[in-house]
Amino acid sequence: MRAVLQRATQASCTVDDKITGAIKTGFVVLLGIEDADTDDDLHWLAQKIASIRIFSDENGLMNKSLADVNGDILLISQFTLFAQTKKGNRPGFTRAARPDKAIPMYEQMIKTLEELTGKKVATGIFGADMKISLLNDGPVTIIMDTKDKENH
């Protein structure tokens, strides 16, 4: 499972000219799910997202978490995070989980993040053609991969 977190001062997702989710201060999380992902991966990543401290404190240091700034999450399913670009010029997506696995895991990630943060998670629509608008704050962009949890 892979996530790209972007610290934002505002963000929204639009599908067919309708806003499906919007936030003010918080994270835009692009979430990629692959076939090898497990519930352990999901819970590890959700915990990391909920507790990572990448918001500035009064001294300008990244010491505050989402809860510390009363921030929100806009969660977007993003299978292209598992693009394979080694050969040719057209990316392959064979590592990305198929919808029958990815949709339940995406829905579980929404539930888990809501439980951890105590707030509703704004979302896009799985598999839709989404337009994401955000004002990246910093800019601060962090990439997390559940493969990294083995190294700690």
Which of 80, 85, 112, 146 is catalytic? The answer is 80
Catalytic site includes residue 85 = no
Domain boundaries, the chain: 2-151
What is the chain's mean pLDDT, rounded? 95
Q: At what angle do helices 99-117 and 39-51 cross, to 10 degrees?
A: 40
E strand or H helix at 122, and its extent?
strand 122-123
CATH number of 2-151: 3.50.80.10
Is 66 within 8 Å of 118 (Cβ atoms)? no
- CB atoms near residue 90 (< 10 Å): 7
Each residue of 4-61: pLDDT tens digit?
999 999 999 999 999 999 999 999 999 999 999 999 999 999 999 999 999 999 999 9
Place of tokens 């505050």: 64
